[in-house]
């Protein structure tokens, strides 16, 4: 597949599915026949398979077989008599992988993706289970799932006309996005203040380049003032959205919001033009187009101390303990070497605007090949139970965390089988993304201590920046947008190519490269999606 739903994939799906199987459990009809549950436990053992992301972490454990998967397996057998098998899927190509598995009829019973259009595409072909009847009939058996997600997240994607629920939305508990990070020790060495404007940020990058010998000594030729990856839309988000007019309405943001990298938002191009200038001025890592998403080359350059600044997930340099960027930077460069979050990009109203999403995260769905939808819902309920998700997030006291005098917890470095492959084990806590100890005050205190070996001031600073001048995007549900069907991966590839090519183009060619690529994006389905979204909005009587 070339990241698009092909005719062959559709044929495979049609041949492999028994559509009625998507609406039945192994005992017969979905919502009418006895499921064999007694006090939340099956009288006969049921078996399910569950997707888990494989991040290919250096020093990590097998994502499908480790201490935490064993905790889940043992708990599910004990509490519900359900046997669980994990099926790893590459994190950085998860949409393509799920497409292939669904098309082949070999998807896990419990699937996770960030791409709702992928789910909708297969739902339209009969390849996804409608969860609505199960959620209704077995609500009393799912108290933890309902308490955690509530109607908002469980019914976030419900079709307003038909009532179908193809997926439930995980709770984004800490609603953060990306931060701008710079080398704090380099600023001190050059006697520079943290940049607070685009002009100051660019001057800082120039200073890094011009003082490479001072900052890197014999490795001066390896200087990278600013680094970025091929997922430019994510990695440059704070910069590009600083060009978006403050007057942008919620309706306009949604109509042009199919692409979650905001490519279609007004003035987006101006941010990419800045990156084009920086690239041609030698301020951006020249080889960034060569490495795919998930490649570790860029991380290794940061660990070695060659990168002066970058934009990434709000906690990115502080993750992964001894294997992470912060720890290796100190080890390889020195104890004072560190990245600190800064806030340099203002919009036209003088605000450091961050556009944060509604409190939704990954989408959890059951393919039609799932013969155990009730057991699968009990799996989600098990993960949503506070004591279970709390254990998965912080692990064992004395091993992966220490309890502080005030009741908060401090993460400590884990070794061996108890290493977590993802921050707070989010790859297993698929109904919630973000630390939650059940007490807001303790959670807030603990969050700053959740990064082993990292001074909490770095975490607190990046956290505070996330919520300064933040704006939560409004959400609308007008049912299925037909034009989006099957288009997500194809348009994502076109977007990524457009952004990379626009950055590396010669300045004189920028406008032509951008215009051609952007028009191709629109002609390939982007404009049809915009048109349908606008029509749905207008039909609902909502003005832009």
- In terms of Cβ atoms closer than 10 Å to its own Cβ (0-12, 13-18, 19+), residue 16 is middle
Spatial distance between the Cα atoms of 378 and 78, rounded to a whole number of angstroms? 12
Report pLDDT for 414: 83
Statement to judge: residues 249 and 374 lie in one domain: no
Statement to judge: residues 206 and 254 lie in one domain: yes
Report pLDDT for 287: 98
The verdict on residue 399 lying in a domain is: no
The verdict on residue 408 lying in a domain is: no
Backbone φ and ψ for 274, nearest 5 degrees, come out as: -60, -45
Most confident segment among 10-14, 130-134, 403-407, 414-418: 130-134
The CATH code of the domain that includes 210 is 3.40.190.10
Pairing of strands 401-403, 409-411: antiparallel
What percentage of the chain exceeds 70 in pLDDT?
93
Statement to judge: residues 315 and 377 lie in one domain: no
pLDDT in tens, 528-544: 999 999 999 999 988 76
pLDDT interval class at 285 (50, 70, 90): very high
Statement to judge: residues 227 and 319 lie in one domain: yes
Buried b (16+ CB within 10 A) or exposed e, 87-106: bbbebbbbbbbbbbbbbebe
Spatial distance between the Cα atoms of 266 and 347, rounded to a whole number of angstroms? 12
Under a CB-based contact definition with an 8 Å cutoff, are residues 245 and 267 in contact? Answer: yes
Report pLDDT for 18: 38
State the DSSP H helix or E strand holding residue 469, giving kind and residue range, or none if neither: none
The verdict on residue 305 lying in a domain is: yes
Please report the sign of the dihedral spanned by the C-alpha atoms of residue 256, residue 257, residue 261, residue 265.
Answer: positive
Report pLDDT for 8: 45
Under a CB-based contact definition with an 8 Å cutoff, are residues 320 and 451 in contact? Answer: no
- Give the residue-averaged pLDDT of 387-415: 93
Under a CB-based contact definition with an 8 Å cutoff, are residues 319 and 341 in contact? Answer: no
- For the chain, give the mean pLDDT: 92
The verdict on residue 136 lying in a domain is: yes
**Which range marks the domain in which residue 377 is found?**
7-172+362-390
Statement to judge: residues 368 and 485 lie in one domain: no
pLDDT in tens, 333-362: 999 999 999 999 999 999 999 999 889 999
Tokens 């400590």, residue located: 412
Lowest mean pLDDT among 137-141, 519-523, 537-541: 537-541
Statement to judge: residues 107 and 77 lie in one domain: yes
User: How far is residue 8 from each of residues 4, 15, 19, 105, 494, measured CA to CA in Å?
Assistant: 11, 10, 18, 13, 22
Spatial distance between the Cα atoms of 532 and 477, rounded to a whole number of angstroms? 13
Report pLDDT for 488: 85
pLDDT at 27 over 60: no
Record the tokens describing residue 531, joined without a space: 């048109």
- Give the residue-averaged pLDDT of 166-178: 95
Report pLDDT for 43: 96
Q: Which residue has the higher pLDDT, 72 or 22?
A: 72
The verdict on residue 271 lying in a domain is: yes
Closest to 465 measured CA to CA, from 239, 172, 177: 177
Lowest mean pLDDT among 245-249, 320-324, 385-389, 515-519: 320-324
pLDDT at 25 over 60: no
Pairing of strands 168-172, 178-183: unpaired
pLDDT at 256 over 90: yes
Report pLDDT for 92: 86
The verdict on residue 447 lying in a domain is: no
Report pLDDT for 544: 67
- Give the residue-averaged pLDDT of 192-198: 98
Report pLDDT for 417: 84
pLDDT interval class at 475 (50, 70, 90): confident
- Give the residue-averaged pLDDT of 125-130: 96
- Give the residue-averaged pLDDT of 68-97: 96
Statement to judge: residues 157 and 242 lie in one domain: no
DSSP string, 89-103: EEGGGHHHHHHHHHH
The verdict on residue 289 lying in a domain is: yes
Most confident segment among 32-41, 311-320, 410-419: 311-320
Statement to judge: residues 351 and 368 lie in one domain: no
Under a CB-based contact definition with an 8 Å cutoff, are residues 155 and 524 in contact? Answer: no
Spatial distance between the Cα atoms of 107 and 110, rounded to a whole number of angstroms? 8
Report pLDDT for 181: 98
pLDDT interval class at 476 (50, 70, 90): very high
Tokens 């390849």, residue located: 127
Report pLDDT for 26: 38
What percentage of the chain exceeds 90 in pLDDT?
84
pLDDT at 31 over 50: no
Report pLDDT for 190: 98
What lies within 8 Å, CB to CB, of 230 at 6+ separation is 288, 289, 291, 292, 293, 496, 500
Statement to judge: residues 237 and 351 lie in one domain: yes
Question: What total of structural domains would you count in the chain?
Answer: 2
The verdict on residue 113 lying in a domain is: yes
Statement to judge: residues 479 and 373 lie in one domain: no
pLDDT at 312 over 80: yes
Report pLDDT for 34: 53
Closest to 395 measured CA to CA, from 49, 66, 76, 90: 66
pLDDT in tens, 226-249: 999 999 999 999 999 999 999 999
470 bridge partner residues: 354
Lowest mean pLDDT among 307-316, 370-379, 403-412, 514-523: 403-412
Phi/psi-derived region of residue 425, left when phi > 0, alpha when psi is between -120 and 50, beta in every other case: left
Spatial distance between the Cα atoms of 6 and 223, rounded to a whole number of angstroms? 44
Q: Which residue has the higher pLDDT, 33 or 39?
A: 39
Cα–chain center distance at 520? 26
Statement to judge: residues 330 and 250 lie in one domain: yes
Statement to judge: residues 75 and 203 lie in one domain: no
- Give the residue-averaged pLDDT of 403-417: 90
């Amino acid at each position: 597949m070339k990241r698009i739903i092909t005719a062959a994939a559709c044929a495979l799906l049609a041949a492999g599915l028994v559509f009625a199987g998507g609406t039945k459990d192994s005992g017969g009809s979905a919502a009418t026949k006895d499921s064999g549950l007694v006090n939340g436990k099956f009288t006969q053992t049921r078996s399910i398979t569950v997707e888990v992301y494989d991040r290919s972490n250096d020093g990590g454990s097998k994502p499908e077989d480790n201490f935490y998967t064993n905790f889940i397996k043992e708990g599910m057998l004990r509490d519900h008599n359900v046997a669980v098998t994990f099926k790893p899927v590459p994190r950085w190509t998860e949409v393509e992988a799920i497409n292939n598995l669904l098309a082949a009829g070999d998807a896990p019973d419990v699937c996770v993706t960030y791409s709702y259009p992928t789910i909708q595409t297969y739902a339209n072909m009969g390849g996804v289970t409608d969860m609505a009847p199960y959620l209704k009939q077995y609500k009393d058996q799912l108290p933890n799932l309902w308490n955690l997600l509530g109607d908002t997240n469980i019914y976030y994607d419900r079709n307003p006309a038909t009532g179908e629920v193809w997926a439930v939305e995980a709770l984004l508990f800490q609603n953060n996005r990306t931060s701008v990070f710079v080398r704090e020790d380099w600023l001190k060495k050059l006697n520079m203040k943290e940049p607070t404007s685009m002009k100051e940020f660019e001057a800082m990058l120039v200073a890094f380049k011009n003082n490479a010998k001072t900052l890197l000594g014999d490795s001066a030729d390896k200087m990278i003032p600013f680094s970025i990856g091929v997922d430019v839309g994510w990695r440059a988000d704070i910069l590009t959205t600083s060009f978006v007019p403050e007057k942008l309405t919620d309706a306009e943001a949604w109509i042009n919001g199919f692409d979650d990298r905001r490519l279609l938002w007004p003035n987006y191009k101006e941010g990419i033009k800045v990156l084009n200038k920086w690239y041609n001025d030698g301020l951006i890592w020249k080889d960034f187009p060569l490495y795919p998403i998930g490649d570790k080359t860029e991380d290794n350059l940061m660990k070695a101390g060659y990168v002066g600044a970058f934009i990434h997930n709000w906690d990115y340099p502080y993750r992964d303990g001894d294997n992470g960027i912060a720890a290796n930077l100190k080890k390889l460069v020195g104890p004072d070497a560190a990245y600190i979050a800064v806030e340099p990009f203002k919009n036209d109203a003088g605000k450091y605007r961050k556009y944060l999403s509604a409190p939704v995260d990954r989408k959890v769905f059951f393919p039609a090949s799932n013969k155990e939808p009730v057991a699968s819902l009990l799996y989600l309920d098990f993960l949503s139970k506070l004591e279970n998700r709390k254990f998965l997030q912080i692990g064992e006291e004395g091993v992966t965390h220490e309890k502080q005098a005030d009741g908060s917890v401090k993460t400590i470095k884990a070794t061996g089988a108890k290493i977590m492959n993802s921050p707070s084990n989010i790859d297993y806590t698929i109904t919630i993304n973000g630390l939650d100890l059940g007490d807001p005050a303790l959670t807030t205190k603990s969050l700053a201590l959740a990064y082993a070996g990292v001074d909490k001031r770095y975490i607190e600073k990046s956290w505070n920046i996330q919520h300064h001048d933040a704006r939560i995007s409004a959400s609308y549900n007008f049912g299925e947008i037909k034009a989006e069907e099957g288009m997500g991966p194809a348009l994502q590839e076109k977007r990524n190519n457009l952004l990379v090519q626009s950055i590396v183009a010669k300045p004189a060619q920028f406008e032509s490269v951008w215009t051609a690529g952007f028009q191709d994006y629109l002609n390939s389905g982007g404009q049809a999606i915009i048109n349908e979204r606008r029509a749905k909005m207008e039909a609902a009587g909502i003005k832009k």
